[in-house]
Amino acid sequence: MQRPTYFISQPMLYRNNRNWYGYKKISGKIVSKKSLRTTSKQEAEAWLSRMRVSLKAIEERQSFSDSEFLPGPAIGWLHKDTQVLPYDEPESWEAIKNLNCPVHIVFNDNRMGLVVINGEIPEAMLSSDATIPIIGSLAALPAANLGDRSFCDDHGIDYAYYTGAMANGIASVEMVEAAANSGLLGFFGSGGLDLGEIEKAIDALTRKCPDKPFGFNLIHSPNEPKLEADTVQLYLDRNIRLVEAAAFLDVTLPLVRYRVSGISRDDGGLVVTPNHIIAKLSREEVAEKFLSPPPEHFIDELVSIGELSREQAELCSLIPLAQDIVAEADSGGHTDNRPALTLFPTILALRDKKQAVFNFSQPSRIGLGGGISTPWSAAAAYAMGAAFIVTGSVNQACVESGTSDDVRAMLAGTRQADVAMAPAADMFEMGVNVQVLKRGTMFAMRAAKLYELYRNYGAVEDIPAVERTKIEKTMLRCSFEESWADTKSFWQHRDPGEIERAKNNPKHKMALIFRSYLGRAAVWAQRGDVSRKIDYQIFCGPSMGAFNEWVKDSFLAIPENRKVATIALNILYGAAFLRRCNYIENMGISLPENLKKIRPLELGQVLEYLK
């Protein structure tokens, strides 16, 4: 029996006040009332044109019943006795919610239905009893298939998702361990810590995660180049094979040294680098450097000091400086507040341009971070082609983070507009800003005031007495002389050279005092020093507000219930589920609105769906 290609209702238009409505009729009966609603006559006429599809003759039946129609072409046929689940009943939606369950969408008994694919369909399709038309097929989409599988394979993880580093150990050992135990990649936040503290974290993670992947942060330290070099040396000594390079404004010798140390060819002739870099960035000029081979002058310098052989140096031109790049959009902490929708395709196009020039055996992968905290933002990132995604602010609100309960409670009450930019402690003199929480704290305003004074005056003594008194009373809570004594004590241990610079440069001395306030503001928050709550510095992006809106009235609204694995797996599951929903809608098939409402699931539930 020859099957018709289309069964479709006749499209109609009518106007009521300012709105144009489109609906469908078969034999005079309205079968779809919500096909279109628009105030644009042009859009209405375009819809009508698209909907006018010729009906092909039906060999054995010349007409259908009034309510029988298909919204698109039949792509196959099922046996008349096939078990069909009702499309409009919530119990049937479990087949769509189960990511590993492929289904057919069919039209049966004058309504839509779902058929779970069981492998016995092809034979039935050849039978004359195959009378149930298939109007769409939905393949399985495991969350593990989101992103680029090579990212997972190279790093030994299950999901193309990693928890980004947050300075001062806020991205803690416990957070990295939780990520590793859930098939994710986690980075310890070593920025702002001394070498002893970093080495303790290395010891702990090596002991707790002996067979699981993890990484450490390497933050650009233009004001402390020795610290950056010493951190790289520590990583090389302790065989830390993966770092997240953050806040780099330019390539540095220690960064290049880390990347190319131990470079060689394997037995198959492929270039092998034991050490890998994931670079977080938001500027094209910086991305261009990480997507290119390591600079030749640094390679030559490493050869001259005996770090590389001449043969190894020749191999360095065959690899990108970073194998993975994070296009970092509007994030907490160091950020340029770039929109993800424009930043990601720009960095992706730049990658393609560089790959065409250098023809690396493995092109750099481009992931997306900044603003990702819900299934919708994650689904959008993967849909744009992100090889992986990165979360940050949302993890700081988790019980595993290395911050205080007070901060976690403040983050749980954050909305999207509750963030602001403030001067960065580590790049204060350069005028670099970071994004912080402004609700419940005056840090952003006070830090901006200190930078204004730094720009306008050459020394502490030049600041008007009224301003000095105000700063001493509200921010420093001691005299400038006492603050300088504390600051000197800190730098005597950290880098005595800074004290010498301050002796000869009063403006630098002023900067060190102001930076002391900025740095301690983060410590007060991390320790939960309520006497300094008004000065808390809390890195935070607008994604925190989006997350809170999503989990409102759910178990994740309670700060004590927020755990890294629960949040990450909910985001991944929700993103994969939304991709399945989008695929159905792209076939021209409407979904019930209730189906697309994603509520957070307890860890056990989400693990069942992810199986």
Q: What is the mean predicted confidence (pLDDT) over 327-349? A: 93
Question: Would you state the pLDDT for residue 63?
Answer: 39
Per-residue pLDDT for 167 more than 60? yes
Question: Would you state the pLDDT for residue 49?
Answer: 62
Per-residue pLDDT for 415 more than 80? yes
Question: Would you state the pLDDT for residue 53?
Answer: 38
Question: Would you state the pLDDT for residue 32?
Answer: 44
Between strands 264-265 and 242-246, the pairing is unpaired
| DSSP state string for 62-93 | S---TT---SSB--EEEETT---EETTSGGGG
Task: Tell me the C-alpha distance between 228 and 217, whole Å.
Answer: 11
pLDDT classification of 50: cutoffs 50, 70, 90:
low
CB atoms within 10 A of CB 167: 24
Contact (CB, 8 A) for 369 and 390: yes
Between strands 185-188 and 215-219, the pairing is parallel
pLDDT 10s digits, 201-225: 999 999 999 999 999 999 998 888 8
CB atoms within 10 A of CB 26: 19
Question: Would you state the pLDDT for residue 55?
Answer: 34
Which CATH number is 144-402's, of 3.30.460.10, 3.20.20.70, 3.30.230.80, 2.40.100.10?
3.20.20.70
Contact (CB, 8 A) for 165 and 191: yes
Q: Which of 48-52, 94-98, 279-283 has the lowest mean pLDDT?
A: 48-52
Per-residue pLDDT for 558 more than 60? yes
Task: Tell me the C-alpha distance between 130 and 78, whole Å.
Answer: 5
Give me the residue spans of the domains in the chain: 144-402, 415-544
Task: Tell me the C-alpha distance between 572 and 404, whole Å.
Answer: 27
Q: Select the more confidently predicted residue: 69 or 411.
A: 411
Which H or E element spans position 420?
A: strand 419-423
Contact (CB, 8 A) for 280 and 244: yes
Per-residue pLDDT for 486 more than 60? yes
- Can you say whether the dihedral through the CA atoms of 333, 335, 340, 343 is positive or negative? negative
Question: Would you state the pLDDT for residue 112?
Answer: 79
Task: Tell me the C-alpha distance between 50 and 46, whole Å.
Answer: 6
Tell me what the pLDDT averaged over the chain comes to. 87
Q: What is the mean predicted confidence (pLDDT) over 25-48? A: 54
Question: Would you state the pLDDT for residue 491?
Answer: 92
Per-residue pLDDT for 62 more than 70? no
Per-residue pLDDT for 343 more than 60? yes
Alpha carbon distances (Å) from 533 to 422, 530, 544: 17, 5, 19
Contacts for 150 with CB less than 8 Å, ≥ 6 apart: 362, 365, 387
Q: Which of 36-40, 166-170, 237-241, 254-258 has the lowest mean pLDDT?
A: 36-40
Per-residue pLDDT for 252 more than 80? yes
Question: Would you state the pLDDT for residue 272?
Answer: 95
